[in-house]
Structure 1
Amino acid sequence: MMTKVGSAHSVGAAERQPGERIRVAVWASDPITRTGLTELLLGRAEVFVATDRFPSDVDVLVFAADGVTPEVMANMRKAAAESAAPAVLVARQLERSALMRAVECRVVAVLHRNTATGERLMEAIRIAADGGGALPTNLLGELLRQVENLHREVLEPRGLNSAGFTAREIDVLRLLAEGWDTEEIGKKLCYSERTVKNIIYAMTSRLNLRNRPQLVAYGLRVGVI
């Protein structure tokens, strides 16, 4: 049974206009599977299949493999680094230990290879292109369990929330978004101006952001503002 997971616009993915074909790129662990998937999608009027391996301007990436081997995972990481598009994974098996790593590579939908009909694949592609997700019920439960463990064992001991911010960082970030300068933020939160600057520097450095506007934009994107 497949469970749809939410629906929100994919941040950073290529912008697609209403009625425009979904741009898809296909990767497979063997050339026969890649050719078969490509031919299947070429027969669909609503999709455009890119010829490049990991183009940056596609809406959805489709990966197909028997299992998530180190080679498959390496290619998924490479794709995630080169494209902001969400991914659909078609696999014969997906080890629970690899589930979180797959999600970190922007996999939002998983199909069992033996039951991945053309219609099911297209449904998963449409869901991914619209910013949603679709996971088998057992994998969704396992993912939620792993997220809970991550929060309890890694984030909470460090005082971080699921977006990777501490409570005081969020306070500073929200005031930055309202246009307050460091001196004003310090007075509002009873911090020294130096402390506020250090908090901002720590956030921008940790998230590899160049400046405060980028930091505010990131905060808006992950929903902490």
Structure 2
Amino acid sequence: MTKVESATHTVNSAAREPGEQVRVAVWAQDPITLTGLTGMLLGTADVFVAADPFPADVDVLVFAVDRVTPEVLASMSKAASESAAPAVLVARQLERTVLLRVVECRVVAVLHRGVATGERLAEAIRVVAEGGGVLPANLLGELLRQVENLNHEVLEPRGLNSAGFTSREIGVLRLLAEGWDSEEIGKKLCYSERTVKNVIHAMTSRLKLRNRPQLVAHCVRTGVI
């Protein structure tokens, strides 16, 4: 079990327009916590609190819990499926075993409930809305260890990288991005032209993309190549 520490590590923050409101949706396990958090945020000039706990058009989701139970994870997963917004988690403690699951629900900031004042919560929301993250140092270290273990124990034995692509796919993608056609890629990598076409088709189908330009654009945008 990992206690959520109060010290935080902030990453990747970008500027928002001055005076621009951040639309926030709040979810809590009990009505008292929900009322308290909502009241805190209503007094913040640049934060707008939506009435619906899981709307699709908010900038940030806020979850407030004592512990991340299976029921809480189910609610967080539901929110992640209905909204593309990143999330702030206010919790008293986190089990190490659910840390990656929490991240899968787009949680990029974690605050300890005991120190989650209105000012600190509002600041975390602003950072998240700007594309940043706020994680206690102990959680950040644990998360990196779990990602390393995932890569070593699950992805590498299957020839995959952390983005879910094989080394062969990465090789094809890099040449495709340089404008090479299937025949040229095949000669360069010692594959048949048919193999190259099958590799490209498998990637476009898996990612639900229509063509090669979309595939290259997606992989460049997401940092795969």
TM-score (norm 1): 0.89
Residue correspondence of structure 1 range 150-161 to structure 2 within 5 A: 150-161=150-161
Contact 1:88 1:108 in 2 (8 A): yes
1:47 is matched with which residue?
47
1:13 is matched with which residue?
none
CA distance in 2 between counterparts of 1:132 and 1:170 reads 28
- AA aligned opposite 2:157: P
Structure 1, residues 185-209: CA drift from partner, whole Å, max 9, x if none? 2233332221112111222333344
CA distance in 2 between counterparts of 1:32 and 1:210 reads 48
CA distance in 1 between counterparts of 2:26 and 2:182 reads 47
Contact 2:186 2:196 in 1 (8 A): yes
2:70 is matched with which residue?
70
- AA aligned opposite 2:21: R
Contact 1:2 1:134 in 2 (8 A): no
- AA aligned opposite 1:224: V
Aligned-residue offset at 1:18: 5.1
CA distance in 1 between counterparts of 2:17 and 2:192 reads 47
Residue correspondence of structure 1 range 27-42 to structure 2 within 5 A: 27-42=27-42
Are the structure 2 counterparts of residues 26 and 119 from structure 1 closer, same or farther at C-alpha, using a change threshold of 3 Å? same
> How many positions carry a matched residue from both structures?
219
Contact 2:9 2:137 in 1 (8 A): no
Contact 2:10 2:135 in 1 (8 A): yes
- Is it true that 1:202 corresponds to 2:202 in the alignment? yes
Aligned-residue offset at 1:99: 0.7
Structure 2: state its 5+ residue gaps.
1-5
CA distance in 2 between counterparts of 1:5 and 1:139 reads 12
CA distance in 1 between counterparts of 2:213 and 2:57 reads 25
Structure 1: state its 5+ residue gaps.
10-15
Aligned equivalent of 1:3, options 2, 5, 8 = 8
TM-score (norm 2): 0.89
- Is it true that 1:111 corresponds to 2:111 in the alignment? yes
Contact 1:4 1:132 in 2 (8 A): no
- AA aligned opposite 2:83: S
- 3-state SS of 1:56 partner: coil
- 3-state SS of 2:133 partner: strand
Structure with bigger RCO (C-alpha 8 Å, 6+ apart): 2
Aligned-residue offset at 1:77: 0.7
CA distance in 1 between counterparts of 2:49 and 2:200 reads 42
- AA aligned opposite 1:168: R
- 3-state SS of 2:62 partner: strand
CA distance in 2 between counterparts of 1:2 and 1:205 reads 43
